[in-house]
Structure 1
Amino acid sequence: MSLQMKLVAITLDCPDPPALAAFYQQATDLELHPKSDADFAGLNGEHGLLIGFQRVDDYRPPSWPDQIVPQQLHICFKVDEDLDVAETRLLELGAGKPDHQPHGDKARVLTDPVGHPFCISLR
């Protein structure tokens, strides 16, 4: 008999949980978790999935693609609009864009304000 597990949370390390939660909240329109504070902030995602952000002292951002500091996690998002429009909006919110783009025109790799890489692609 196989074990049935349901993913309920993904948590990212960061230096400032409320700030990183604000970036992802603006990018996704997800609702801020009511128990967020200076050490842990969360966003309530679809189907009960919580995206959490926890404070880590001496946080070191991932380096991508070289992996000198491992990326630890890579999140992918689907967007409804043109990739150029979505990318521009995310860059305005504080995302970065690495020079290395392995997916051609099908997806874009960006980094959140503290260096976690994530992809956007069309639905």
Structure 2
Amino acid sequence: MNVVTLVGNLASDVELREIGSDKKVASFLLAIDRASREGGADFVTVAAWDRQAELCAEYLAKGRRVAVDGRLRSRSWEEDGKRRTAIEVVARRIEFLGGGPRASEGGEVIPFEPAAAAG
């Protein structure tokens, strides 16, 4: 089973890109605090697709706290003659938490749209 739930703060603004003529993807870096005795944070790239991507680009900004439910996806590519790999979270559901840039009252959920999702 490939299921992940993360709560953290955006460590970057949302980058919205168009793929072809009918797909959109938004990506952002999520900082997740480690246990207090470890200190520091882990950083994970999150990808949201289509309508969810548009809403993320409109309402999220660096510093905003969110909860993300989704799945892990690995991808690989060639760069400067070297094989690169990355693991990212493909969002199924994103909930805006608390305050922060462009915050609304309370939590707001952006659900996954199965018919429009890719990846």
| TM-score scaled by length of structure 1 | 0.22
Higher helix proportion, which one?
1
Structure with the higher fraction of residues in strand conformation: 2
Could you state the TM-score of these two structures normalised by the residue count of structure 2? 0.23
